[in-house]
Amino acid sequence: MSLRLDYHGDLMKLDRQINWNKLKSSRLLKIWLLGFFILTSNCEGPHYYSEQQLSSLQSQDIIEVLILNQPLSFTAKGSTQAGVSLSKGLDFDLLSEFANFYGKKIKFIPFNNESDLIGQFQKGHGHIAAGRFPKSYITSLGFNSGPDYEAASLSLFCHRNIEINGVADLTQKKVITFERYNQVLSYQNLLKENPLMKIDLWVNGSSLRAFKEVQVQRNDCLIALHSEGLFFQKQFPNVEFKMKLKDYFSLNWMIQKDLDYLNPLLKAWFQAASRDGSIIKILDRYRLISENVDKRDINQFIKNTKETLPDFVTFFKQAGKIHELPWELIAAVAYQESKWIPHAKSFTGVEGFMQITKKTAKDLGIIDIHNVEENIMGGAKYLKQLIQQMPPHLNSSDKVILALAAYNIGIGHLNDAFKIAISEGKNPYQWHQLRQTLPKLTEEKYFKDTQFGEARGYETIDFVERVKVYYHYLIQSQFG
């Protein structure tokens, strides 16, 4: 990690080169493009909305969303400083994008259990309810549903000591399932297949708590969304995937029955956002959380959060407060850099918690690079400077992702990667596209014409993805 703060002007020049991205980000043009997309699309079929429906949305002061507090949907834990955060959850990010698209403010009201959320929604509170609900469940409650934003499947996860090859092997096994999945996969039908299995039907309770139950074998198995299972499986080493039970159903948001105008607007936005890459960009953040780090790494990380982090968490929180960053983000960077080892030193000569070079330390005003508090404070200061150098029209999550890449590879090499991406017709500010470009910095035919030459771009991808994973686990921890 090296300090190259003098290339901010180059980033701004690049930003002007792709001013189409700024234009597309303007709200008026977005709404105009939306009309174009819904008339020309033949992928899902056009979604029309009337001027009256758009007017109804614009007349709302704020969009209120009742949201379930659970990983991959919304995380109430974790700190947010000056609007800087990586992400708060898939439903949170998607619906924030929807509100931003139409220039509306949005308010999220979190609920810790499903029955309270549904109860309040049934009383007319909120415009939208979010909690990774199957479309069939929403229909059964009598609400309207939004766009099919994720194709889902249900899987069986069990304690690793239990051998399961089919439903017949669940005899006398205690299996947690959720009421919200009953329209997709009826527990009554499961009991017909094996009347001797013991179904524990949860109306409330989170997937996180269910996985904890199986981890300590208070229950033998649970039925959960496959994507959630991949997320939690690495956090709970005693839990293993056993088999798929149901494939291909959609997750949706609930919409109040009397708000007919919201459904076509949500679907029209989703269709346009799918085409301009906004949806895949958001989904990509969470897909990689479950795929990029293996269970052994997560187990070691969780162990270190219990044994090592308490000694340093105060320093992270102080640095976060001073530099207006989530402390969990700083801690995640530090863990990826040094595994929270105070005197860590790499073969490139960078040192300490945040792996800072002596020259960078001097530029940042660090007197003793081996002083943990100073090292953390300096690394946080540098990360904040990098975030501030990113193009101003980007949202907070995109700025943080690109700043993490710059922290690892240097702002000069990142600038080179931007130029290569642009030359290939890619949007350099979308991480899922830039990720395809960074490894090319190791290929001579690409780096020979760059300003800063060869760089290990594949290491930068690994760095960013791992920081994202550690950050998400930290905001779920007891320290959040």
Choosing from 328, 337, 374, 465, the catalytic residue is 337
- Mark whether 374 is an active-site residue: no
Cα distances from 3 to residues 221, 361, 397, in angstroms, run: 50, 9, 22
> What is the SS3 string spanning the chain?
CCCCHHHHHHHHHHHHHCHHHHHHHCHHHHHHHHHHHHHHCCCCCCCCCCHHHHHHHHCCCEEEEEEECECCCECCCCCCECCECCCCCHHHHHHHHHHHHCCCEEEEEEECCHHHHHHHHHCCCCCEEEEEEEHHHHHHCCCEECCCCEEEEEEEEEECCCCCCCHHHHCCCEEEEEHHHCCCCCHHHHHHHCCCCEEEEECCCCHHHHHHHHHCCCCCEEEEEHHHHHHHHCCCCCEEEEEEEEEEEEEEEEECCCCCCHHHHHHHHHHHHHHCCHHHHHHHHHHHHHHCCCHHHHHHHHHHHHHCHHHCHHHHHHHHHHHCCCHHHHHHHHHHHHCCCCCCECCCCCECCCCECHHHHHHHCCCCCCCHHHHHHHHHHHHHHHHHHCCCCCCHHHHHHHHHHHHHHCHHHHHHHHHHHHHCCCCCCCHHHHHHHHHHHHCHHHHCCCCCCCCCHHHHHHHHHHHHHHHHHHHCCCCC
Whether 279 contacts 147, CB under 8 Å: no
Cα separation, 426 vs 424, in Å, equals: 6
Cα distances from 43 to residues 47, 248, 270, 365, in angstroms, run: 11, 18, 12, 55
Q: List the one residue out of 252, 253, 264, 269 whose CA is nearest residue 129.
A: 253
Q: List the one residue out of 15, 94, 7, 3 whose CA is nearest residue 422.
A: 15
Active site residues: 337
